[in-house]
A and B are shown apart, each in its own frame.
Chain A
Amino acid sequence: MTVIVTEGLSKRYPGVTALDRLTVNIGPGVTGLVGANGAGKSTLIKLLLGLAPATEGTSRVLGKDSAVDGSAIRAQVGYMPEHDCLPPDVPATEFVVHMARMSGLPRTAARERTADTLRHVGLYEARYRPIGGYSTGMKQRVKLAQALVHDPQLVLLDEPTNGLDPAGRDEMLALIRRVHTDFGISVLVTSHLLGELERTSDHIVVIDGGKLLRSESIGGFTQSTTTLAVEVTDSDRHPNGAEAVHEALTAAGLTAQRDAGQLVLVELAPGAEGDAGYDTVRDTIADMGLGLVRMEQRRHRIAEVFAERVDAAPAAPAAPEGPTTPADPTTPEGPADPAEVPAQAPTPAAQEGADGRAH
């Protein structure tokens, strides 16, 4: 079963192409939609909800055509906008009850669902106070509650972690995970922070410039190989410990490389063979008499999806035009212009996301 299907979906505004022949299938579960600001994430959500007509192509949500059945789709879908959308002078309960009734729930059901939903998102006594006095984290919870209050089958969350501090981010991400695991509601969550979607999502869709870069299950992004970061001390015998370890590990048959600093990055294959690699690293360093400062496992960051593209793009064949290539989710080289790749590769957002996860 697919929750969202788009086929050649395009949206052009005068002078701007917000979505360019996007073809993607999204199944149940938590799907992360990643892209820099202006990549077309919010436009996609608008088209899916039937709030704006597509220039070309079609999209179906829960089996219904967005262009025709917008109202029926919106009855079964919740939406949490990116920006502030709450009136400050109303308590959260009243506001969410009102929104539940707007979704078609009778008055008593709206009240019950509101109490339940606010409890589930973790808003307790504060719900009787006007929203104006809430912290950003509490406001985000109210926004999430109004998207969930009518028990939708799917929620679209646009940048739900915006403006939250690291602890707030973690709580929000855990809550989003629960929306699927405990509530049984499918989630499409957008973010420009790649790192944070990694642990929340089952599936990641990456778009840039309105085009599909990649659509894969989270395993495809992060589990093919493991990188081990190793840091060692220097000794009299080995004045440059890192370089010595690098040579020794390479000699031992492992794929190792130096990073810009004092780290040696060792690639480990999945499975038993890779596990044996840990022992090799440990023994090699012990034999050399060096102090092991740090040995930490690093999953591949989604940010590297972009880095890979920098490597892959020049080697890619002349970009074929047409909607078929982006349709293939396993092709990392879309028809994107190689010239635009460096601009997207080391986005500060991507770095930020990756750094936030590093330790």
Chain B
Amino acid sequence: MHTDPNTTRSADAAPDGPTARGDARIHNIGYRSYSGPRLGRSHGRASLIEHSLRGAFGLGRSARSKVLPMLLLTIMTLPAMIMVAVAIATDLNELPLEYTRYVVFMQPIVGLYVALAAPQMVSLDLRYRTTPLYFSRPLERSDYVTAKLAALSVAIFVFCALPLVLLYAGALLGELSPSDETVGFLQGLAGAVVFAVLHSALALLIASFTPRRGFGVAAVIAVLTVPYFAATSLQWIVYDLGSSGAVDWIGLLSPGTLMDGFQGAYLGGATDFPSGIAPAAGGAGLAYLLVTVGLTALCSFLLLRRYRKVGI
């Protein structure tokens, strides 16, 4: 008679063994096919937006990639907190800075963030040649581009809107006029939306031309700052020469002054222009509106065209 020593031992160890042990089995389930839902293009696009948006703040990536976005976000919100503290402590009637002015005031920081986030979104996919994996899925190339545009726009908007929310909350806590503050806050948010969309199209276009992230960062910073300083100095020169009418038109020449003038014309009143006066909503302001919309559309179009060529 054959007795298996293993069987004997396990039976000894567990008197009621056979049934109790019989339930605990390791199954080799082999390959399981998938018969669940396939949600297609729109789901892929939504997932890509979510993934890219998280990536823009370093979420879901290594700890090292979280440092800079979080540091910049802190620097971005710090002045807002100080302003709120000062306003409440000294019983001011209004915040030291208007909502729409805040983003313009903090533009160097926003610019740095945009320069950091845009290459993170597209250059890495180009550098590691991950794009063929996206394009060999149901997504079309236009889906990829619109998803990236949407994700960066939302990221920049969140980056700009967070301090505004702090200001607004502080203003309400400090019992400033709720109606004035609400109007100003909404104007600030609207400005942030336009700012975010314009800058995301511009920065993604620049970043999509280089697989090297460092180059992308440098190029975006250059495109945001060099024209800004050029336009601003030119404005001052022209202003000092006495032709203040030309100041408005020169403001169209850089993304920074463009946003400043646009907000001045439609969302508030003041600008950082030498005159301190905003372009008239009907006159030069219209040019600001058209250039803002046109530049955004042009950059998006070029970005779409760029991705018809690269990435397979």
Contacts of A98 in B (CB 8 A): 47, 51
Q: Check: A306 CB closer than 8 A to any chain B CB.
A: no
- What is the minimal beta-carbon distance from B87 to any residue of chain A, in angstroms? 42
* B interface majority secondary structure: loop
B242 → chain A, closest Cβ, in Å? 56
A358 adjacent to chain B (CB < 8 Å): no
Q: Is the CB of A85 within 8 A of B36?
A: no
- CB-CB under 8 A from A78, the residues of chain B are 136
- B38 lies within 8 A of A89 (CB): no
Q: B61 to A49, Cβ gap below 8 A?
A: no
CA gap between A99 and B139 in the complex, in Å: 11
Quick one: which of A46, A84, A103, A183 contacts B129, CB cutoff 8 A?
A84
Given contacts A46-B312, A75-B138, A182-B30, contact A81 B133 (CB under 8 A): yes
Q: Is the CB of B135 within 8 A of A51?
A: yes
Q: Counting CB contacts under 8 A, is B9 at the interface?
A: no
Q: How far is the CA of A323 from the CA of B47 in the complex (A)?
A: 44
A52 to B310 alpha-carbon distance, docked (Å):
12
- Of A26-34, A104-112, A331-339, the one contacting chain B is A104-112
A74:B136 contact, CB within 8 angstroms: yes
Q: Is A342 an interface residue (CB 8 A)?
A: no
The answer to whether A120 and B133 touch across the interface, beta carbons within 8 angstroms, is no
Question: In this assembly, does A258 line the interface, its C-beta being within 8 Å of a C-beta of chain B?
Answer: no
Number of interface residues of A (CB under 8 A): 41
Contacts of B32 in A (CB 8 A): 116
**Taking the complex as formed, is A58 at the interface, i.e. its CB lies under 8 A from any CB of chain B?**
no
User: B34 contacts which of A46, A51, A130, A151 (Cβ < 8 Å)?
Assistant: A151
Complex CA–CA separation, A113 to B140 (angstroms): 23
Find chain B residues with CB under 8 A from A146 CB. 133
CB distance from A243 to the nearest CB of B (A): 55
Interface residue? A101 (CB, 8 A): yes
> A99 to chain B: which residues have CB within 8 Å?
133, 137
Contact A87-B130, Cβ < 8 Å, known A104-B40, A150-B34, A150-B38: yes
Q: A49 CA to B61 CA in the complex, in Å?
A: 31
Task: Give min CB distance, B49 to chain A, whole Å.
Answer: 11
Given A51-B312, A105-B38, A184-B33, is A94 in contact with B60 using a C-beta cutoff of 8 Å?
Answer: yes
Query: For residues 77 through 103 of chain A, which have their beta carbon under 8 Å from a beta carbon of chain B?
Result: 77-79, 81, 83-90, 94, 98-99, 101-103
Cα distance A89–B124 when bound, in Å?
Answer: 10
Among A71, A86, A120, point to the contact of B128 (Cβ < 8 A): A86
Q: A87-B124, A99-B133, A104-B138 are in contact. Are A75 and B62 (CB under 8 A)?
A: no
* Interface contact A182-B31, CB-CB below 8 Å: yes
Give per-residue flags for B131-159: 1 if the beta carbon is below 8 A from chain A beta carbons, else 0: 01111111110000000000000000000
Partner of B36, one of A46, A52, A105, A116: A105
In the complex, chain B residues whose CB is within 8 Å of the CB of A113: 34
* Interface positions of A (Cβ within 8 A of B): 46, 49, 51-52, 70-72, 74-75, 77-79, 81, 83-90, 94, 98-99, 101-106, 109, 113, 116, 120, 130, 146, 150-151, 182-184
Sort A-B residue pairs by CB-CB distance and give the 4 closest, nearest first. A151-B34, A79-B136, A101-B47, A104-B38
Contacts A109-B37, A151-B34 known; 12 new A-B pairs at CB < 8 A: A51-B136, A52-B312, A78-B136, A85-B129, A89-B62, A104-B37, A104-B44, A104-B138, A105-B34, A106-B43, A109-B34, A182-B30
